[in-house]
Amino acid sequence: MLTKRIIPCLDIKDGRTVKGVNFEQIRDAGDPVELATIYAKEGADELVFLDITATNEKRKTLSELVNKIAHHINIPFTVGGGISSVEDVQLLLKNGADKISINTSAYKNPTLINQLALEFGTQCVVLAIDTKKEVDGNWYVYLNGGRVKTNTLCIDWAREAVERGAGEILLTSMNNDGTKQGFALDITHDLSTQLSVPIIASGGAGTMQHFSDVFEIAKADAALAASIFHFKEIAVPTLKSYLSNKGISIRI
Partner 1 sequence: MKTVIIQYNAGNIQSVLFALERIGVEASVTDDVKQIEAADKIIFPGVGEASTAMTYLKERKLDQLIVSLQQPVLGICLGMQLMCAFSEENNTPCLGIFDERVEKFNSNNQQLKIPQIGWNNIVDLKTDLFKGVHDQAYCYFVHGYYAALGKHTIATANYGLAYSAALKKGNFYGVQFHPEKSAIVGEQIIKNFIEL
Active site residue 136: no
40 binds partner 1 (CB under 8 A): yes
Percent helix, strand, coil in the chain, to 5, is 40, 25, 35
The binding track of 200-229 with respect to partner 1, each residue x by CB under 8 A or -, is: ---------------------xx-------
Catalytic annotation present for 98: no
**Based on CB atoms, which residue is closest to partner 1, 82 or 198?**
198
Interacting residues with partner 1 between 75 and 94 (CB under 8 A) = 75-76, 93-94
Nearer to partner 1, 197 or 228 (CB): 197
Cα(252)–Cα(241) distance, integer angstroms: 7
Q: Are 125 and 100 contacting, i.e. CB atoms less than 8 angstroms apart? A: yes
Report the C-alpha gap between 70 and 42 in whole angstroms: 17
Contact between 196 and partner 1 (CB under 8 A)?
yes
52, 198, 208, 237: which one contacts partner 1 (CB under 8 A)? Answer: 198
* 102 bridge partner residues: 127
**How many angstroms separate the CA atoms of 103 and 60, rounded?**
20
Footprint (CB under 8 A) of partner 1, residues 163-182: 167-168
C-alpha 107: how far from its chain's center? 17
Backbone angles phi, psi at 209, to 5 degrees: -60, -35
| DSSP secondary structure, 39-101, as one string | HHHHT-S-EEEEE---STTHHHHHHHHHHHHHHH--S-EEEESS--SHHHHHHHHHTT-SEEE
45 vs 213, beta carbon nearer partner 1: 45
Q: Considering the candidates 11, 177, 190, 213, report the single residue annotated as catalytic.
A: 11
Q: Does 1 bind partner 1 (CB under 8 A)?
A: yes
Task: Work out how close the CB of 46 gets to partner 1 at its nearest, in angstroms, rounded to a whole number.
Answer: 8
Of the listed pieces 52-60, 114-122, 134-142, 170-178, which binds partner 1 according to CB under 8 A? 114-122
Please identify which of the residues 45, 130, 177, 213 carries the catalytic annotation. Answer: 130
Q: Which positions lie near partner 1, rule CB under 8 A? A: 1-3, 5, 40, 45, 70-72, 74-76, 93-96, 98, 120-124, 167-168, 196-198, 221-222, 251
Q: Which residues are catalytic, by number?
A: 11, 130
